[in-house]
Structure 1
Amino acid sequence: MNRLLINYLSGVLKRGSLEIIDAKGRLHRFGDGSGVPVRVRFTSAAAERAVIMNPELKLGETFMDGGFVVEQGSIYDFLEVVLQNTGGGGRSWWMRAVYRLRVWTRRFRQWNTPFRARQNVAHHYDLDGRLYSLFLDSDQQYSCAYFETPDTGLEEAQVAKKRHLAAKLALAPGQKVLDIGSGWGGLGLYLATHADVDVTGVTLSEEQHKVSNARAAAMNLAERASFKLQDYRALKTQFDRIISVGMFEHVGVGHFREYFEQVRRLLTEDGVMVLHAIGRFDEPGETNSWIQKYIFPGGYIPSLSEVFPAIEKAGLKVTDVEILRLHYAETLKAWRERFLARRAEALALYDEAFCRMWEFYLAASETAFRYQDMMIFQIQIVRDQNALPLTRDYIWQAEEALRLRDHAGQRPSLKIAGNG
C-alpha cells in the first residue's frame, strides 16, 4: 500500500479497528482493536494514490466507482472510525494546502447568480420525486427534525420542527407569510392550516413547485397557500413574517449581505423572520469538495461569524438564537437507515453508482454532524426590536397550543403572538 497512506493512518488512527486490504492483496491493521471491526479494500493502486492525495474528493469518488470497497461493516462505519480519531482535522501538509486553496477560491464556486442558482437547485432537487419518498417522512421534510425526546421517531420529530419554528414566528391570524425555499410545501401548508395565515412559498425547483401546489389544491388550501417558481431576489411584496428553512446553505458567502438586504426590504416594519440553516461551530471554511461536485454545487455552510455581520450591515436585529447540536445527526441516521432499507427501489430508479453516491452522501453528512463541528442554527430577526414581547414566554405558549392541536386535533386560540 502507498507508504504515505500507511504513515498517515498509523499516525492518526489510535482507537477503533480498521483493516485495509491494498491493491496487491496485503492486509494492514490500524487502531487499537476496539469497537466494531471495519474492513475495506482498494481495487487498484491508482485508487490508493487518489485517496491519499485528495481524500475529500477521491474517497467518495472511488467508493462510487468501485475502487474502494467496504467488505466488513458499512461506509458509515468506516467514516465513523476515521472521524472519531481525527474529528475532521488531522490533515497532512498537502491536504491542508489543497484545502487552503479551496478556501481562497470559494467565492468563485459560490457565485450564485439567479441563473446559476436555478441550475444548482435542479441538480439536486429535480431528481425523480420517488427517490425522496424512499427515505423522507410522509410530509417530505428535507431538513433537520427536532427530537424532543430520545424516543421521538422521525415523523413526530418533523412535526415538532414545524411547531417549533411556527412558535418562534409569533404568528397571528391573517398575517402574510413568506417561505423562502419552500421545498415540497409541508411547512407552508402547516402554517396555513394551524395558524390561519396566508403563505407564499418560493422555490427554484420545478419538481417541488409542481408538488407543492398540487398538495395545496388537494387540501383545499390554494387560496391560503400558493407556491411560486421564483428567485427570492425578484420578490417585491412585503410580508409580516418570513421563514427560511434549509435554503441559506445555497446562498453562497458572497451573497450573504444581498440576502439580508432583500429580507429587510420584504419584511414589514414590525415583521419577524426566522432563519433555520446548517452552520459550523468552527471558523469559516469551505464546502467539502465531493459534496460540492456531486450533491450541492454552489453550496456553503457558514460559521456564525460570517452570518451576523451580514445581518447587522443590512440594518436588521437579532432577537433570538438557538443551536440544535445533534438533531441533524439523528435526522440523517433515520434517512440513511430508511434509504438502505429500500435501496433496491432506488436502484430501480437509478444505477449502482448513484446508489453508492447517495449512501455516501447520507453517511458523510451524518458523521459530519457527529464528529466535525456541524450544527443547525435558528436565528430570529426583526427590523424593530419592539416587534416581539419582552420575554420568550410567548414561544413556549405558542408551541404548547400547537402541540395540543397536533396531538389531539384541537384548534388552539392562536392568539400566540403575545399581542398584549
Structure 2
Amino acid sequence: MPEALSPVPGLPTSRPADCPFAPPADLGRLREERPLRRMRFPDGHLGWLATGHSAVRAVLGDPRFSSRYDLMHAPTPYDGEVEMGPAPVGDMTGIDPPHHTRYRRLLMGKFTVRRMRALTERVEQIAVEHLDAMERQGPSVDLVAAYAHPVPALMICELLGVPAAERDRFKRQAAGISRTDASLEEQFAALSALQELIAELVVAKRARPTDDLLSDLTTTDLTDEELAGLGGFLLAAGLDTTANMLALGTFALLSHPEQAASLRADPGLVDQAVEELLRYLSITHTGVRSALQDVELDGQLIRAGESVVVSVQAANRDPARFADPDTLDLHRKATGHLAFGHGIHQCLGQQLARVEMRVAFPALFARFPTLRLAVPPEEVPLRPEANIYGVHSLPVTWDTE
C-alpha cells in the first residue's frame, strides 16, 4: 500500500489570477503527489479526489461506481447546501442502470454521427445569420449574447422541434437558467417556466408529430413527465456547455493569437482544434461518483459508500497522458481527453456539440479577421463558481475597413 498522506481539506477551486484557462494550481500539485488520494468533503465525509487521467477514466468507466445524486456527497456547497437529493425525472446524469440504460437506448439512435452531421447545413445557416447581425450591430458586441449563446440555443430548438413562434420565449427562459448572476429563486423561476413550455410541447407533439426528436420519442413508452424531463435535460446538457465552449474558446484563441492565426490559415485544422480546446478548457470540470462496493484502484481501497470527486480538468492536463499539457496547441492530436466524460454516462450530444463548434469557430474568425477583445483580458467576467466554467460576457471588437 502507498504511504499514507493527510487528506486534502477540500476541493481546490481557486484558479490562477494570471491565466483564466488554467485549472486550480493545487490540483496539479496534488496530482503530482498522488493521482488518487483522500479528501474531506464539506459535510465531513472522508472520500477521495482523483486528479490523474488514468484514475479519473477508471472511475468514470467502472460500473461499481454510482452516478446517483442521492448517494453522493457534494464536493462544494451549492447555495449553502451540501446534501444532494434524487435526480429529477429525465435527468440521465444522476441515475444508474437499469433506468439509465432504458433512456440511453431510446436516445442513442437520435444522436448518431450521421444524423448530427446532417444538421451541419442548418448550423451554418444559423451561424451566418448571427454573424450578419453582428456585422450590422458592430464593431463592438458581447459575443455571448450575439453568437455563442443563440447558435446552440437555436440548434436545441431545431432538435426538439420548438415552433418558430415559441423560440424567442424558449431562448429567454434558457438564458435565465444559465445566468450565474441570478438568484436561486430567479433560476428556479426560469427553469419552471421552461419546463412548462416543454410540457406544452410534448402535448403538442403527441397530437401532431413533426420531424424532430421529441416527436420521435412520443412513439416510445415514455410518459409525458419523462418526455418533458428528458427535453429539459437535453436542453441543460447541450446549451450552456456549448455556449461556454464557444465563448471561452474564442477568448482562449484571442489570447493565443498564433493559434487563431493557424486556424484562419488552415480551416482543415478545425477538427483537431475543437478537440484541443475541449481538452485545454475542460469546462465541465468536476464530477462525483460513489462506490457501490469496495473497489481497489491505484493501490488504494475505496470503501462502499465513499464518494470520489473526479477532476476532469486535472486529468486533461495530466503530463502522463498529454505532453506539455498546459500549452494550447491546435496541432496536437488530443485524442483520449475526458471533456465529454467516459463510460456509460459519456455525453450523448457530443457529436452535435462538435458540429456546432466545427462550424462556429472558423466562420467567426473568417468573417472578422481582426477580431479582438474590446476590454483588457483581466476585465472579462468569468464564472469561477459555476458547474460549467466560462464567461458571463465576452466584449469583442474588430476593424470595419
Common fold: TM-score over 0.5: no
Q: Output the TM-score relative to the length of structure 2.
A: 0.27
Per the normalisation by structure 1, the TM-score is 0.27
Compare the two structures and name the one with the higher strand fraction. 1
